[in-house]
Chains A and B, each alone.
Chain A
Amino acid sequence: QVQLQESGPGLVKPSETLSLTCEVSGYSINTGPYWAWIRQPPGKGLEWIASISRSGSSNYNPSLRGRVTISLDTSKNHFSLKLNSVTAADTAVYYCARDRGGGCSDSWGQGTLVTVSS
């Protein structure tokens, strides 16, 4: 059974880069089909950030395009997120997930809270 675990700093300063990694276990990341990042600001709803296919083709939320990069490392069986020029509005619980296709995230990590503050 696939398991996902997010890791990364819990505190990032404004204007810096948020970097997170999602370790995948019990399942080969090469099988895919897609891998996604989704976030949830405290007390608010879900926001899809980006996804990447097993072949490395990526899609991004238009509202975040230009600031975000998703990447895959098949040798380590993990995928990553980088979000540049963060502000307080980027404070959220960040989830990684497997996307079975059609935008459906069928397995999720537990989530990690990232706070943007000086």
Chain B
Amino acid sequence: QSALTQPASVSGSPGQSITISCTGTSSDVGGYNSVSWYQQHPGKAPKVMIYDVTNRPSGVSNRFSGSKSGNTASLTISGLQAEDEADYYCGSYRKTDTSHVVFGGGTKLTVL
């Protein structure tokens, strides 16, 4: 069981918008602005799409955006394109008795 909870799958048609949620606790998502989102295509290494909840690395399309409310972070992809079909993972800094990083179980995005 993953530390952060994501839906197993989401789908959308080209041009539509979708949102993927990532639910944690006050020890991770809710307590720190250190949530990242990763895109992973089959057989490839993950690629960061969002960091620190809302920031986009250079070169990432502005169709990708992040937000957070309480213990739940969200990734929104607008204007869906075929190449967006991939697995998406959220990750968060967690502080309990130790500092470490936790991931969500991943969400498979299907572009219909």
Using a CB–CB distance below 8 Å, which chain A residues touch chain B? 36, 45-48, 51, 59-62, 65, 95, 100, 102-106, 108-111
Using a CB–CB distance below 8 Å, which chain B residues touch chain A? 2, 32-34, 36, 38, 45-48, 51-52, 57, 89, 91-93, 96, 98-106
Q: Is the CB of A105 within 8 A of B46?
A: yes
Q: Is the CB of B98 within 8 A of A60?
A: yes
Main secondary structure of the interface of A (DSSP, over half): loop
CB of A53, distance to nearest CB on chain B (Å): 11
B38 neighbours in A (Cβ, 8 Å):
46, 105
CB of A112, distance to nearest CB on chain B (Å): 11
> Which chain B residue lies CB-closest to A64?
B100
Q: Is the CB of A104 within 8 A of B48?
A: yes
Cβ-closest 4 pairs across A and B: A102-B34, A103-B101, A48-B101, A108-B45
